[in-house]
Amino acid sequence: MENPLGFVCNCDHGWSQFHVADHFRFLPCVVPNCSINYSCHNESVISAPPPFPPATNLSLWDPCLYNYCGGGTCVDISAFEHRCDCKDGFHNLLNVTSFPCFNDCSLGADCADLGIILPNSTAGSSPSPSLSDAGNSSSAGTVAPNALLVLMVVSVIPIAMARQR
């Protein structure tokens, strides 16, 4: 099968890419394969997101509609920017205010091996015993996964169609 852009990205160990079956292999390897334990501490259990606001207040330009802040609250800065204000005991991932908030015990050792740590952690520190990955972990992003997939598909379709002409 020919690739739409003429190349594929081969991911290094510990990283993967968004793809469906064998399609979209040209996307960059930006998805870390590391464990996140959402229940390592009572306060770190993240509840379901709040229900959508009433249709009169719904705006597709609200960046908080598409972003996940974990143990924090999303605050919109502009039509395209947001920040995650973390609750006590939580910190922004990689100390970037637009990234989700996690508790210290949330990230597994495999995350630290990839350089993904919280501001008050060190890459060499030993993880909490509760962080062993029993296959129940998941990785989190700052954008709702469905929204990102739709955005990628919509942005790639014109490129693929142009190459077929």
Residue 21 is encoded by which pair of tokens? Answer: 């079956």
Would you say residue 105 lies in a domain? yes
Q: How many domains does the chain have?
A: 1
Structure confidence at residue 87 as a pLDDT band (50, 70, 90) = very high
23 in a structural domain: yes
Rounded CA separation 95/107 (Å)? 14
In the chain, alpha helices (H): 109-113, 145-164
88 found inside a domain: yes
- What range does the domain containing 145 cover? 15-164
pLDDT digits (tens, 9 = 90+) for 22-51: 777 888 888 888 888 877 755 444 555 556
Contact 93, 80 (CB under 8 A): no
Residue 5 is assigned to a structural domain of this protein: no
Cα–Cα distances in angstroms (integers) from residue 7 to residues 4, 14, 19, 76, 132, in the given order: 8, 21, 14, 37, 36
Answer whether residue 1 is part of any domain: no
pLDDT in tens, 111-161: 888 888 887 765 444 444 333 343 333 444 444 444 555 555 556 666 655
31: exposed, middle or buried (Cβ count in 10 Å: 0-12, 13-18, 19+): middle
* Three-class SS state of 143: strand
The predicted pLDDT at position 75 comes to 93
8 inside domain: no
> Has residue 67 been placed in a domain?
yes
Q: Is 101 a domain residue?
A: yes
**CB 60, CB 42: distance < 8 Å:** no
pLDDT band at residue 72 under the 50/70/90 scheme: very high
- Which pLDDT score, from 0 to 100, does residue 73 have? 93
- Sorted by sequence, the CB contacts under 8 Å of residue 14 that are 6+ apart come out as 32, 33, 34, 110, 113, 114
